[in-house]
């Protein structure tokens, strides 16, 4: 068999109920050249066993303990055989031309290629709010994609990892933001194509949506503390009153307003829908703020322990 020209890594945590959707979308790709699929399966369910029985062509990397996205991505990269490596979420459905268009863009000489994310739950208010909140910078608009402060939804030539190293593994979320920030500090060539699309199957449960946004807040503070990620929530060593002001007012207001601006520029017909689900969007924003506060308290607590140990050793 010929070597794959491109690899697809799927990070799957307890994904038995949803793993068929991304795999079926990959089986429907119109790419005529070979590609391989790697599923990094972690958690307590039987995703790995199911894949071995029903999808034997898929390479499975198994972890019985939970892998957060950073280590899961790195294990997938390590198992991939293609010279180009792409990532498909376990709740994502790739358009049939997703791989063909990515590969064509890379063959134009680009090291990194970015695509768009569409809304896989367009008729569900919670799913719609989750889409607008998380993916307003990735709507199918070449203008909006090119405006990203840090690019996302990318595929990479393998040499990018050889040059820049792996994804960070010590944060719960945000590993792609941290890694892709390195791209902007290097000389890699980046291209965007809004026709490279995957549909994200957003959470439909209000409780699940709020918990998910809370976890993103915890991960955001980890990125701020450990990697000095620039964010409206401010520094990890700021006093509590300032953190509360920034995380519960400045951060959500800016994020809501910027999302509105992107939608107006890239898909103006979606503005009424964004405004209609605004209360749910704001619930997610404040859930993120609570996660930021929890992450800040962890930092404060760990710093206090470090100081105490330092005093004791002195």
Whether domain 6-200 has CATH 3.40.50.150: the reply is: no
For residues 279 and 271, give the distance between their C-alpha atoms in angstroms, rounded to a whole number.
14
Residue 312's pLDDT is: 37
**Residues 113 and 107 sit within 8 Å (Cβ to Cβ):** no
162: Cβ contacts below 8 Å, ≥ 6 apart: none
Position 166 pLDDT exceeds 70: yes
55: Cβ contacts below 8 Å, ≥ 6 apart: 23
Per-residue pLDDT reduced to its tens digit, 48-76: 999 999 999 999 999 989 999 999 999 99
**Residues 235 and 224 sit within 8 Å (Cβ to Cβ):** yes
Distances in Å between the alpha carbon of 290 and those of 84, 131, 214, 237, 251?
38, 20, 6, 17, 12
Domain limits of the chain?
6-200, 206-313
For residues 304 and 309, give the distance between their C-alpha atoms in angstroms, rounded to a whole number.
9
Position 308 pLDDT exceeds 90: no
Q: What is the pTM of this model?
A: 0.93
Per-residue pLDDT reduced to its tens digit, 232-261: 999 999 999 999 999 999 999 999 999 999
Per-residue pLDDT reduced to its tens digit, 83-99: 999 999 999 999 999 99
Q: What are the helix (H) ranges across 136-277?
A: 142-146, 158-164, 175-184, 206-227, 240-245, 251-266, 271-276
């Amino acid at each position: 068999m010929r070597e794959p020209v491109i690899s697809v890594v799927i990070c799957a945590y307890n994904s038995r109920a949803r793993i068929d959707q991304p795999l079926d979308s990959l089986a429907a790709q119109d790419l005529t050249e070979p590609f391989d699929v790697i599923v990094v399966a972690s958690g307590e369910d039987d995703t790995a066993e199911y894949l071995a029985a029903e999808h034997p062509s898929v390479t499975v990397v198994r972890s019985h303990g939970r892998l957060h996205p950073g280590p899961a991505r790195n294990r997938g990269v390590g198992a991939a055989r293609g010279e180009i490596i792409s990532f498909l979420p376990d709740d994502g459905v790739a358009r049939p031309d997703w791989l063909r268009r990515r590969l064509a863009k890379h063959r134009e000489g680009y090291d990194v290629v970015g695509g768009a994310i569409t809304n896989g739950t367009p008729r569900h208010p919670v799913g719609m709010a989750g889409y607008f909140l998380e993916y307003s910078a990735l709507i199918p608009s070449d203008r909006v994609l090119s405006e990203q402060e840090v690019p996302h939804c990318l595929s990479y030539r393998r040499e990018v990892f050889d040059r820049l190293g792996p994804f960070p593994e010590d944060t719960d979320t945000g590993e792609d933001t941290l890694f892709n920030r390195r791209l902007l500090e290097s000389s890699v060539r980046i291209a965007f194509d809004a026709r490279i699309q995957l549909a994200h199957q957003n959470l439909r449960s209000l409780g699940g949506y709020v918990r998910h946004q809370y976890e993103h807040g915890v991960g955001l503070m980890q990125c701020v503390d450990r990697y000095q990620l620039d964010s409206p929530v401010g520094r990890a060593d700021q006093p509590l009153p300032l953190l509360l002001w920034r995380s519960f007012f400045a951060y959500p207001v800016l994020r809501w307003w910027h999302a509105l601006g992107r939608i107006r520029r890239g898909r103006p017909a979606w503005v009424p829908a964004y405004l209609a689900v605004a209360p749910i969007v704001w619930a997610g924003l404040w859930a993120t703020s609570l996660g930021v506060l929890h992450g800040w308290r962890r930092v404060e607590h760990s710093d206090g322990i470090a100081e105490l140990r330092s005093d004791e050793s002195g």
